[in-house]
Structure 1
Amino acid sequence: MNSSDILIETLRLRLRKLRDDDADALSEYRSHPEVARYQGWSSPVSREAAASDIREYGGTDPSAPGWFIFAIEIKTEGLLVGEVGVRLHDNKMQADMGYSLDPSHQGMGLATEAVTAVVSSYFERGVRRISADCDARNIRSVALLERVGFRFEGLRVANRYAKGEWIDELFFGLLSERRS
């Protein structure tokens, strides 16, 4: 692995750029029904679709406006288990965030560790506000956001139509100066 691909390290994780050889793992966990249920994609996710996302979001600069996807890799195994996506606004003071994690690695605090590290990194770069939204049925995502310090900002009933149904969405925000 190229050391310049590693952007953030935590006790257990490397948050790095996506690489071409991540396509199989990305396709596999994104295809899991539990992961795809609350995301904008449908299962299964082909290797080609995963490779396309890697090309589009993996090689970009995390400090440039637009979307960047951090790969979540377990240090001891060198295994890609998830992602944290961040969309930095043009003013570089606001960002939106989303994440997903392979179900076989959920419940161990890995997503919390990754999201906390990414949030800290962006606040250190001068971002003042990070927003996140999620499907109101995704109680695990709600719990993660609250653990990291995000505050509930509202509910939009039937806010989005996806996968044949209207979805209620919850909105969260975190300000750098109010981080708990």
Structure 2
Amino acid sequence: MITTERLELRYFRPEDAEAFSAYRSVPEVARFQSWNAPFGLEEAQAKVASFADGDPLQPGWFQYAIALDGLLIGDIGLNTFDNLMQADIGYTLAQEHQGKGYATEAVGGLLQHLFVDRDLHRVSAEVDARNVASARLLVRLGFQQEGFRPENTWFKDEWTDDLLFGLLRSNWRRTAG
């Protein structure tokens, strides 16, 4: 669906379930995410099947598989608004593939697609303030921090601070060169 220099963003496939379960079962990967580790294979199979039925061009959530040499290494969630001009994103990368630029490349490839091919006006992201690596990734890609909400979310038995990020297509054009 979307290709970058090293990666492919594509629909999930049934054979992705084992890798999906594996990286979502790592406590450090799950720490700032909506699920808890471990993430069982049956649950992964059900999620992968539901993701495969999604349509990225329709309003609502769609989950892209991030593949390296055909193998699943992560995923990007895209929540397209009803107006089809705005979206929220979220992303996860397997721990062994972090720190190699794959997340930046995958999110950057998705932004290129959203702003150029789909003509979106704005993309937003919300990050747990403790997830410094994720916030840095967004800034690297041109997002601006637009808000800080202290103790805003009751998450995994504690109050957490939220950072709000946004990127307009016009600003992305300037930073993308």
Q: TM-score, normalised by structure 2?
A: 0.94
Task: Provide the C-alpha distance between the structure 1 equivalents of 2:114 and 2:48, rounded to a whole number of angstroms.
Answer: 21
Q: Which runs of 5+ in 1 are unaligned?
A: 1-6
Structure 1 window deviating more from structure 2 (58-67 vs 8-17): it is 58-67
Task: Provide the C-alpha distance between the structure 2 equivalents of 1:57 and 1:71, rounded to a whole number of angstroms.
Answer: 9
Q: Which runs of 5+ in 2 are unaligned?
A: none
Task: Provide the C-alpha distance between the structure 1 equivalents of 2:148 and 2:52, rounded to a whole number of angstroms.
Answer: 31
Which residue is 1:95 aligned to? 87
What are the Cα deviations for residues 150-176 of structure 1, in whole angstroms up to 9, with x where unaligned?
100011111111111111010000000
Which residue is 2:15 aligned to? 21
Residue 37 (structure 1) shift: 0.1
Which residue is 1:83 aligned to? 75
What are the Cα deviations for residues 46-99 of structure 1, in whole angstroms up to 9, with x where unaligned?
112212222222321111111111111112xx2210011100011000000000
Q: Percent identity?
A: 48
Q: Give, as a single letter, the amino acid of the residue that structure 2 aligns with 1:111.
A: A
Which residue is 1:74 aligned to? 68
Which residue is 1:109 aligned to? 101
Paired residue total: 172
1:34 is paired with a residue of what secondary structure?
Answer: helix
Runs of 4+ deviating beyond 4 Å: none
Q: Give, as a single letter, the amino acid of the residue that structure 2 aligns with 1:120.
A: Q
Aligned-residue RMSD, C-alpha:
0.9
Aligned residues of 1:65 and 1:90 also touching (Cα < 8 A): yes
